[in-house]
């Protein structure tokens, strides 16, 4: 009898022991699983946060202006405003570039507002992908020879959408020349002259030397600026005017 | 990973491609909010695509929608891996059809309407097409066991 009881207690004891062991094993297993899940989700969180941070960093670092002006204002430049001003704004532009077209009214407003307080210089930087950009710059140069560079410049920008993809853009420009009251014979000769073409090349090359790789690129007293609209543009110029006076 | 219904290579591929898509779309979203990229460049033509009127739907940049889509897929794959719930996989893989159709629409807009291609948008078109193929494989070829 005694022996029997002992045996039952033993059996019961060992059964409970096994249960306890099982529970412990289960606990360690579950703790391990929790740890693995935690590690997995921490890893994923880090990956996502790191990815977003990296991309934002990439975008903001590519926004740092990298162009440095090599040629300052000279007698060969087309200037609006006061040529001798201490504040010189230079634009490298392409008549067919939609972004330049979008900036045109802003620049016009800025130059009208500041008037003789600043000098505004327009330099040609016609891009390969724009079929009519060069012809447009020839037209502006030819008009410039008769003292109407900025008048032609305005007309060209104001009608950008109309001639951009046209196969007869030169006719549109000749029409503008007529509207501006230019001597058409001379205008035609000038717009086809090697002298005008050489001037465009020189302007383009000066842009290349200044590391210009996009249009429009603006330089204010030699430093590249990236104005975001009219208010920004005005603030940047005002700031320069105060520091220079 | 032994109880995963889809093969390991497929799981890894989906996670990887959706992460690439996520990075790409995040880059475009950052560009939209931070980079005032209004110019024509010697290297990549004009920024006409990312600044066009089609780049925003009801005030939300499509790049952000894309980033959310890839994010959902990427996180969702790990939710599925964690919970081993085949319904999660089925929903995710059906989503890839949506992503694929959206990409077709954007490709159409770029080629026929805006008439300009944007490199990062083409990357996104590639990733969403791949994800669609993977999604269909996961749904029909390697059908989750009921």
Predicted confidence (pLDDT) per residue in A55-65, tens digit: 888 887 766 67
A100 has a chain B CB within 8 A of its CB:
yes
Measured distance CA(B85)–CA(B145) in Å, rounded: 11
Q: How far is B2 from chain A (nearest CA, A)?
A: 15
* Pairwise CB contact (< 8 Å): A97 & B46: yes
Nearest to A213 among B36, B43, B82 (CB): B43
In this prediction, residues A20-24 reach a mean pLDDT of 87
Q: What is residue A116's DSSP assignment?
A: G
* Pairwise CB contact (< 8 Å): A51 & B41: no
Which residues of B are less than 8 Å from A40 in CB distance?
78, 81-82
Q: What is the pLDDT of residue B80?
A: 87
In this prediction, residue B48 has a pLDDT band, given cuts at 50, 70 and 90, of low
* Pairwise CB contact (< 8 Å): B47 & A63: no
Q: Which two tokens stand for residue A20?
A: 């306890």
A209 has a chain B CB within 8 A of its CB:
no
Which residues of B are less than 8 Å from A62 in CB distance?
35
Per-domain boundaries in chain B = 8-141
Using an 8 Å Cβ cutoff, are B38 and B51 in contact? yes
Measured distance CA(B106)–CA(B50) in Å, rounded: 11
Closest-CA residue of B relative to A97 is: B40
* Pairwise CB contact (< 8 Å): B71 & A214: no
Nearest to A214 among B22, B42, B74 (CB): B42
- CATH, domain range B8-141: 1.20.1440.130
Q: What is the pLDDT of residue A36?
A: 87
Q: What is the pLDDT of residue B131?
A: 92
A105 has a chain B CB within 8 A of its CB:
no
ipTM of the complex: 0.80
Measured distance CA(A15)–CA(A3) in Å, rounded: 18
In this prediction, residue A80 has a pLDDT band, given cuts at 50, 70 and 90, of very high
Nearest to B23 among A40, A55, A217 (CB): A55
In this prediction, residues B8-37 reach a mean pLDDT of 86
A54 has a chain B CB within 8 A of its CB:
yes
Sheet holding A119-124, edge to edge: A78-81, A119-124, A88-93, A217-220, A223-225
Instruction: Give B81-119 pLDDT, tens digit per residue.
Output: 888 888 888 888 888 999 999 999 988 887 777 766 778
Q: How far is B62 from chain A (nearest CA, A)?
A: 17
Strand ranges (DSSP E) for A170-222?
214-215, 217-220
Residue in A37, A40, A66, A99 to test binding to B, most B beta-carbons within 10 Å: A99
Is 3.40.30.10 the CATH number for A78-244? yes
C-alpha distances (whole Å) from A98 to each of A56, A102, A161 are: 26, 6, 8
Q: What is the pLDDT of residue B2?
A: 41
Which residues of A are less than 8 Å from B12 in CB distance?
none
- Beta-strand relationship, B56-57 and B60-61: antiparallel
DSSP string, chain B: -TT-SS-HHHHHHHHHHHHHHHHHHHHHHHHHHT----SEETTTEETTTTTSGGGEETTEEHHHHHHHHHHHHHHHHHHHHHH--HHHHHHHHHHHHHHHHHHHHHHHIIIIII----HHHHHHHHHHHHHHHHHHIIIIITPPP-
Supply the mean pLDDT for chain A: 90
In this prediction, residue A185 has a pLDDT band, given cuts at 50, 70 and 90, of very high
Which residues of A are less than 8 Å from B47 in CB distance?
99
Per-domain boundaries in chain A = 1-64, 78-244
In this prediction, residue A125 has a pLDDT band, given cuts at 50, 70 and 90, of very high
pLDDT at B143 over 70: no
Instruction: Give B113-141 pLDDT, tens digit per residue.
Output: 776 677 888 889 999 999 999 888 888 87
pLDDT at A90 over 70: yes
pLDDT at B146 over 60: no
Q: What is the percent of chain B where pLDDT is above 70?
A: 81
Which residues of A are less than 8 Å from B81 in CB distance?
40
């Amino acid at each position: 009898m005694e022996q029997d009881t002992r045996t039952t207690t033993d059996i019961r004891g060992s059964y409970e022991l096994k249960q306890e062991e099982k529970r412990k094993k289960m606990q360690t297993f579950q703790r391990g699983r929790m740890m693995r899940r935690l590690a997995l989700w921490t890893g994923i969180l880090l990956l996502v946060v790191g990815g977003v941070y990296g991309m934002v960093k990439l975008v903001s670092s590519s926004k740092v202006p990298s162009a440095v002006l090599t040629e300052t204002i000279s007698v060969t430049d087309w200037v609006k405003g006061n040529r001798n001003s201490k504040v010189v704004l230079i634009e490298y532009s392409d008549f067919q570039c939609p972004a330049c077209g979008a900036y045109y009214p802003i620049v016009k407003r800025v130059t009208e507002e500041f008037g003789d307080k600043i000098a505004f210089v327009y330099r040609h930087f016609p891009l390969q992908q724009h079929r009519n950009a060069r012809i447009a710059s020839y037209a502006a140069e030819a008009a410039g020879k008769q003292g109407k560079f900025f008048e032609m410049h305005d007309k060209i920008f104001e009608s950008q959408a109309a001639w951009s993809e046209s196969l007869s853009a030169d006719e549109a420009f000749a029409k503008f020349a007529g509207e501006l009251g230019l001597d058409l014979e001379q205008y035609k000769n000038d717009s086809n002259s090697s002298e005008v073409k050489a001037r465009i090349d020189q302007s383009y090359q000066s842009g290349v030397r200044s590391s210009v790789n996009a249009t429009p690129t603006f330089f204010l007293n030699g430093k590249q600026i990236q104005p975001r609209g009219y208010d920004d543009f005005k603030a940047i110029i005002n700031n320069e005017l105060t520091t220079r006076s | 990973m032994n109880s995963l219904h889809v093969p390991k290579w497929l799981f890894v591929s989906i996670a990887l491609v959706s992460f690439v898509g996520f990075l790409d779309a995040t880059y475009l979203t950052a560009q939209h909010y931070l980079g005032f990229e209004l110019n024509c460049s010697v290297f990549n033509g004009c920024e006409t695509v990312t600044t066009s009127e089609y780049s925003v739907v009801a005030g939300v940049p499509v790049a952000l929608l894309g980033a959310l889509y890839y994010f959902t897929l990427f996180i969702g794959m790990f939710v599925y891996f964690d919970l081993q719930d085949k319904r999660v996989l089925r929903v995710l893989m059906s989503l890839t059809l949506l992503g694929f159709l959206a990409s077709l629409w954007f490709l159409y807009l770029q080629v026929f309407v805006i008439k300009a291609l944007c490199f990062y948008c083409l990357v996104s078109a590639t990733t969403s097409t791949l994800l669609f193929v993977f999604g269909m494989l996961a749904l029909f070829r390697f059908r989750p066991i009921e």
